[in-house]
Amino acid sequence: MKDWLCVGRAEEIDKPGDFMAFCIMGEPIVVTRNHAGAIQAFANVCAHRGVGVAGGAGNTGEFMCPYHGWLYDLDGRLLGAPYMKDAEGFDPKTCRLPPIQCGTWQGWVFVNFDAGAIPLVDYVADWDRKLGFLHMERCRLADKLVFEIDCN
């Protein structure tokens, strides 16, 4: 959980609002493209009760918790929390989907659960030299196979 993990291709979330939700080592995450075109990753857990706010893949303008209807934008910020206006000490500006480090390299999307991890650009520094001849930035996803492997 401290390495950069490849989770897909950028063209899988090509348009603003496109997202993919899945679990890595039991940790639910959502990877999305925001309105500015940036790819970001968040823990797929509502700040209120920890329920997932996204499932599968698709396109949306916001993420909503099915439990109490808390609403988050594509940058993970809380937009609305029904019935919480009068809650003592509640500050909606402090509530958000927890961010997960995310970056792209040659069209591949990577996440890292370690907030103190080295930047992706440093992690992949040798890859351009070793793999650049493949021109993966020109590749596009043709098919996707998903395997669940019981291993460590």
Q: Where are the domains of the chain?
A: 5-138
pLDDT greater than 90 at residue 128: no
CA distance 86 to 26: 35
Please state the rounded mean pLDDT for residues 124-136. 89
Cα torsion 37, 115, 107, 7: sign: negative
The answer to whether the beta carbons of residues 33 and 39 sit under 8 Å apart is yes
pLDDT greater than 80 at residue 86: no
CA distance 95 to 72: 9
Q: What is the pLDDT of residue 144?
A: 84
> What is the chain's Cα-based Rg?
17
This model's pTM is above 0.85: yes
pLDDT greater than 90 at residue 93: no
Was domain 5-138 assigned CATH 3.40.50.720?
no
